[in-house]
Amino acid sequence: MKILILYGTTEGQTRKIAHFMEAILHNAGHQITIADTTAETPSTNGYDAVLIGSSIHMHKYQSSVKHYIKKHVAHLNQMPSAFFSVSLAAASGLEDEQREVQKITTHFLEQTGWKPLMTSQVAGALKYTEYDYFKRLIMKLISKKEGGATDTSQDYEYTDWDEVTKFVNEFSNKISNKS
């Protein structure tokens, strides 16, 4: 099957996750095209399925992802597709944060009119070494409040790669069974 993977990222973790998904699907025998939504993006035409991912920052997904989905929503809703949402809140053990992330995703999908076959909440990363002074301070305060990592001399990856693999394999099985 020909699968299109699109992503929007702020700090690069969503790109890393998208490329991990690409490798899994490629190893399963699928033809994969992958693209950042801020660059030249292919249309959904000619693909059997689409995976789209975006990170959450300030309670919003990347505008380039939203724009792409709105532009192609009619075709997306006629084909197998899935959405993966990347955020630090997905790593939180707090139910309120889990509900908030799901609420952001639900609102986003309602706004765009997209009805993906599957969605997944994927934990992101704290990239302290890439932040400017103020962002590092804010992220440290948030992380401290959550009981997370506060050593700003290193980065912390919270992505559960086994869960990502499970999501991608489930999507692959669903689209393979539809053909």
Regarding whether 57 and 137 lie in a shared domain, the answer is: no
pLDDT value at residue 150: 86
Q: Is the pLDDT of residue 27 over 80?
A: yes
Regarding whether 139 and 56 lie in a shared domain, the answer is: no
Q: Is the pLDDT of residue 175 over 60?
A: yes
Regarding whether 153 and 91 lie in a shared domain, the answer is: no
Backbone angles phi, psi at 27, to 5 degrees: -65, -25
Regarding whether 153 and 97 lie in a shared domain, the answer is: no
Regarding whether 145 and 92 lie in a shared domain, the answer is: no
Regarding whether 27 and 16 lie in a shared domain, the answer is: yes
If we measure between CA atoms, which residue out of 47, 43, 49, 55 comes closest to residue 7? 55
Q: Which amino acid is at 27?
A: N
Regarding whether 145 and 83 lie in a shared domain, the answer is: no
pLDDT value at residue 119: 97
Structural domains in the chain (count): 2
Average pLDDT, integer, range 83-96 = 86
Q: Is the pLDDT of residue 179 over 70?
A: no
Regarding whether 144 and 110 lie in a shared domain, the answer is: no
Q: Exposure pattern of 3-35 as b/e (b: 16+ CB <10 Å)? A: bbbbbbbbbebbbbbbeebbebbeeeebebebe
**Structural domain boundaries, residue 135:** 126-157
pLDDT value at residue 166: 98
Q: How many CB atoms lie within 10 A of CB 45?
A: 9
Average pLDDT, integer, range 17-32 = 97
Q: Exposure pattern of 120-147 as b/e (b: 16+ CB <10 Å)? A: bbbbbbbbbeebeeeebeebbeebeebe
pLDDT value at residue 178: 65
Give the pLDDT band (50/70/90) at residue 109.
Answer: very high
Give the pLDDT band (50/70/90) at residue 145.
Answer: confident
pTM above 0.75, yes or no: yes
- Distances from the Cα of 1 to the Cα of 42, 53, 158, 171, 178, angstroms: 16, 19, 31, 12, 11
Q: Is the pLDDT of residue 96 over 90?
A: no
Q: Is the pLDDT of residue 139 over 90?
A: no
The CATH number of the domain where 81 resides is what?
A: 3.40.50.360
User: What mean pLDDT, rounded, does the chain reach?
Assistant: 92
Regarding whether 77 and 139 lie in a shared domain, the answer is: no
